[in-house]
Amino acid sequence: MPLDQPAFAGCDIPQELQQVMDRLARVGADLARLIARGGIEDDLAGSVGTNAGGDGQKALDVIADDAFRAALTGSGVRFYASEEQDEAVELGPTGAYALAIDPLDGSSNIDCNVSIGTIFAIFPAADTAPASFLRPAKEILAGGYIIYGPQCSLVVSFGQGVLLFVLDPDTHRFTLVKTGVQVPVKSKEYAINASNYRHWPQPIRSYVDDLVAGAEGPRGQNFNMRWIASLVAETHRILARGGVFLYPRDSRKGYEKGRLRLLYEGAPIAFLITQGGGGATDGEDPILDQTIETLHQRTPLVFGSAEKVARVAAYHDLPEEETSALFNKRGLFRS
């Protein structure tokens, strides 16, 4: 596609931010094509080491990080912070924005042909990189993700609702297909990795126990569990169908404060979901009320339909000795 043709268009945003989004979209479109050709020329799922947080890196993690960093150099982005890098870097002294990015989220699923994605958050740039990123999460100007799946879509909010773009494979451009995307209020789906049940804190166990009990339990209805193990895919499903996603803290070493990164995953997803009328917490408190203290800070994450997220938080308010059976007796959570 010629450089004078925008890859991203369809909404009224400042020109400098439009340039940033166009460059993000261009790289996203290129990655979508590369992923579709995975295995033909390159082993995108090949292991190449570990990142700053100790997670294994795949070849595509590094390819994506290099591509976004190169594309955003000379744009409106002054500071660039990536999940794949130890420190934030300055891309240009005059940019108005600071971009935090998980260049390739869900890379453990590359070889499974499961939807993976890119997650990003844009902040106003401060005088230094630390000041640009280590700040209240609610100061995000824009946040969203690109999902590489059967459709390649870009979902973003600039603080005035959620926009959905779809990549047209014929034109290599993202086309706006829906505005005002809302998280459905009603759903019987929840997503959690049930294999970690024995490690969860009691409130999470009690919440899931009541869901598993189904029509015979205190909730009085049956629920379906989903678990894709790809955050962008989970988010995309919740925006389409509602429900709740839970990645709680647990008792395993390294999981005591959660596992997802606040800057690169928790904050932008929380921003997007709340713009769509949903809720996002660390299990108890809103993610957007938190302050980002380190670049690779971990957090638990619960998000989805607002009532369901609030219900999870309510389980944390119960006395520790109180069991889910009392919910049935009191009828507190039957609706």
Mean pLDDT of the chain, nearest integer: 91
Q: List CB contacts of 111: < 8 A, sequence separation 6 or more.
A: 45
Segment 296-305 mean pLDDT: 98
Is 102 catalytic? The answer is yes
Single out the residue of 41, 38, 89 nearest to residue 68, CA to CA.
89
Is 105 catalytic? The answer is yes
Is 104 catalytic? The answer is yes
When comparing pLDDT for 14 and 43, which is higher? Answer: 14
Asked if the model's pLDDT at residue 54 lies above 50, the reply is yes
pLDDT bucket at 182, cuts 50 / 70 / 90:
very high
Amino acid 323: pLDDT: 47
Is 83 catalytic? The answer is yes
- Cβ atoms of 24 and 146 within 8 Å: the answer is yes
Is 16 catalytic? The answer is no
Question: Which architecture characterizes domain 189-330 according to CATH?
Answer: 3-Layer(aba) Sandwich (3.40)
Is 322 catalytic? The answer is no
Q: Which of 84, 189, 250, 282 is catalytic?
A: 84
Is 289 catalytic? The answer is no
Amino acid 322: pLDDT: 58
Q: Which of 17, 22, 99, 105 is catalytic?
A: 105
Amino acid 156: pLDDT: 97
pLDDT tens-digit series, residues 198-231: 999 999 999 999 999 999 999 999 999 999 999 9
Cα 300 to Cα 176: distance, rounded to the nearest angstrom: 32
**Residue 236 phi/psi, 5° resolution?**
-65, -40
For the ranges 105-109, 113-117, 153-157, 310-314, the lowest mean pLDDT is seen at: 105-109
Q: Looking at domain 15-178, does it have CATH number 3.30.540.10?
A: yes
Amino acid 46: pLDDT: 75
Domain ranges of the chain: 15-178, 189-330
Is 265 catalytic? The answer is yes
Cα 210 to Cα 220: distance, rounded to the nearest angstrom: 9
Asked if the model's pLDDT at residue 130 lies above 90, the reply is yes
Asked if the model's pLDDT at residue 1 lies above 70, the reply is no
Go through the chain and tell me how many residues it has. 335
